[in-house]
Structure 1
Amino acid sequence: MPKPQVRPKKYNRGSPAWIVTFADLATLLLTFFILMLSFAEMDVEKYRAMANSMTMALGGTPAFSVIPSDVSGARPVSVIATEPAPPSASAQIPELIDERAEGDAPTRIPAGVIDLASALIRELETEVASGSLSVNYDQEQVIIRFAEEAAFRSGEAQIKPEMIPILERVVQVLGSCTGDVLVAGYTDDRPIASGRYRSNWDLSAARAVSVVHELVLNRDVPAARVVAAGRAETNPLVPNDSPENRARNRRVEIAIRNPECDDTMPTGSLPVEIMP
């Protein structure tokens, strides 16, 4: 019986006709998107906000900075949201005169600090007596501390109308003195429930910026001297274990560092020594 003939297999060594068109189209699309990317501009602030959101979602601590335009049209005002200070850095936080322990050796206070603190207490005597604000000082700075209930409504960053004249009087005093001005906003430890502010960091920074706008609005205080900082629930004055303590921790502070005042400013009668 004769063997059947086996036909050799035919192999198609060429590519399909459609693959050339597809490869050409893919190359053109890749070139198009690369060209679009080269013309794109990155929004730095949105990138930082996205990065901070990812950091917080993963259990980290946010640290971002924003530099808005100065309302006076002059120089920009820096806005810094800081991260919580580690426990080892607590010794670097200045202690105020009303928080120092008794019995230690006295420390000499510079004349500029005494003059500025005296002028502020004299100008804001009524508000200090009512408890809506306080004036404290140490050997490096003078701090004006505004209570939240006196300056802002709960969960808002707009200054109450009755606080504007008080800030104008503060500006009059600061206009006669030099020194860097740090405006810091603080909250308690409860998370904020607001559609406008993502967290206590946003709220505290927005409140600090509102105060800065009033300080530099008429240019009596140069914008280059002023920095606004959002501190959220960090550095509480007292433990957040009661409604009264939380209300005390919700505040805005204006710190004037290393002030030097004009000779025309009345000299103060504050003690020239405080406890270190």
Structure 2
Amino acid sequence: MKGRGKTEDGGGGARWLTTFNDMMTLLMVFFVLLFSMARTDITKLKQFQVSIMKGLGVLEKGEGAAFGLIESFGDKGQYKATVKGRLIPEGEELIEDYMKSLEAFNNVEFQLRGNDRVLVLDGAALFESGSADISPEAVPFLKKILKIIQASSCPVRVEGHTDNVPISTEKFPSNWELSTTRAVNIVRFFCERGNIAPERLSAVGYGELRPLASNDTAEGRARNRRVEIILIESEEE
């Protein structure tokens, strides 16, 4: 008799837990629907859903779940799919295709810094030594990069970098002026050739202050003479 009583108590506890889980699931759906009635920021909705799912223990084994509910809200034309919980903006597949078309070039390197995509361009392929004028040979290459920018809608920052070999001319008193002018000229190229909105673009020059390699070797100095084009997809604080 005692054994049967324990079994019945255990069964009652399990039934209570099932009812509780059903109630919490309904509450989650209810709050998501309320949240969506306002003008929804898709990123905030994602964060909201993650917090709810964590609270229910849905993501206890990791955050690799697909966020299917998110795709039911907001501007459906803005996002196409989710991959490993990351929202994929419409047009990104086209961007990836354009990036693959650049793989044949030896003067470009692709990096991913957080959510930002970075194209590291060999400075020697863009400019003559000591010059900030874009070489004619670089124009077809920059046009391919321009297609990537046109296919996206995120802000783009162009950074100029040099090695530590000093320069002192009337036009470029230091590497700061040289690197900044190079970045500005590429931004101007994107605006004039691609009709990119100027407010999407920014230019900055770091001179020799942010090297990727040691300046003690010719190979290191060549690597440091570069232009970085950054597609900024990380959230601004």
Fold match (TM-score > 0.5): yes
The alpha-carbon distance between structure 1 residues 246 and 111, as it changes in their structure 2 partners (threshold 3 A), is: same
Deviation of 1:195 after TM superposition, in Å, equals: 3.0
The alpha-carbon distance between structure 1 residues 156 and 224, as it changes in their structure 2 partners (threshold 3 A), is: same
* Equivalent residues in 2 for 1:180-191, closer than 5 Å: 180-191=155-166
Partner residue of 1:72?
Answer: none
> Pick from 103, 109, 130: which aligns with 1:125?
103
- Tell me whether 1:253 sits opposite 2:228 in the alignment: yes
Q: Which protein is bigger by CA-based radius of gyration?
A: 1
Deviation of 1:243 after TM superposition, in Å, equals: 1.2
Per-residue CA deviation, residues 101-139 of structure 1 (Å, 9 max, x unaligned), is xxxxx9976535974762332221221xxx211222233
What is the one-letter code of the residue matched to 1:118?
Answer: E
The alpha-carbon distance between structure 1 residues 109 and 201, as it changes in their structure 2 partners (threshold 3 A), is: farther
Per-residue CA deviation, residues 19-38 of structure 1 (Å, 9 max, x unaligned), is xxxxxxxxxxxxxxxxxxxx
> Pick from 121, 142, 148: which aligns with 2:117?
142
The alpha-carbon distance between structure 1 residues 120 and 237, as it changes in their structure 2 partners (threshold 3 A), is: farther
Deviation of 1:171 after TM superposition, in Å, equals: 1.4
> Pick from 88, 92, 95: which aligns with 1:111?
88
Cα distance in 1 for residues equivalent to 2:152 and 2:138: 22
What is the one-letter code of the residue matched to 1:158?
Answer: D
Deviation of 1:140 after TM superposition, in Å, equals: 1.7
- For residue 184 of structure 1, give the secondary structure of its aligned residue in structure 2: strand
- For residue 124 of structure 2, give the secondary structure of its aligned residue in structure 1: helix
- For residue 178 of structure 1, give the secondary structure of its aligned residue in structure 2: coil
- Tell me whether 1:166 sits opposite 2:141 in the alignment: yes
What is the one-letter code of the residue matched to 1:122?
Answer: K
Q: How many residues align?
A: 151
Instruction: Judging by fraction of residues, say which structure has more helix.
Output: 2
- Tell me whether 1:152 sits opposite 2:124 in the alignment: no
Partner residue of 2:17?
Answer: none
Per-residue CA deviation, residues 32-71 of structure 1 (Å, 9 max, x unaligned), is xxxxxxxxxxxxxxxxxxxxxxxxxxxxxxxxxxxxxxxx
The alpha-carbon distance between structure 1 residues 139 and 110, as it changes in their structure 2 partners (threshold 3 A), is: farther
What is the one-letter code of the residue matched to 2:104?
Answer: T
Per-residue CA deviation, residues 133-153 of structure 1 (Å, 9 max, x unaligned), is 122223321111111111111
Cα distance in 2 for residues equivalent to 1:229 and 1:110: 29
* Matched-pair contact (CA < 8 Å) for 2:99–2:148: no
The alpha-carbon distance between structure 1 residues 175 and 117, as it changes in their structure 2 partners (threshold 3 A), is: closer
Unaligned residue ranges in structure 1 (runs of 5+): 1-105, 260-276
- Tell me whether 1:211 sits opposite 2:186 in the alignment: yes
* Equivalent residues in 2 for 1:55-94, closer than 5 Å: none
RMSD: 2.4
What is the one-letter code of the residue matched to 1:168?
Answer: K
What is the one-letter code of the residue matched to 1:119?
Answer: D
Percent identical among aligned pairs is 31
Deviation of 1:236 after TM superposition, in Å, equals: 0.8
Deviation of 1:194 after TM superposition, in Å, equals: 2.5
Partner residue of 2:211?
Answer: 236
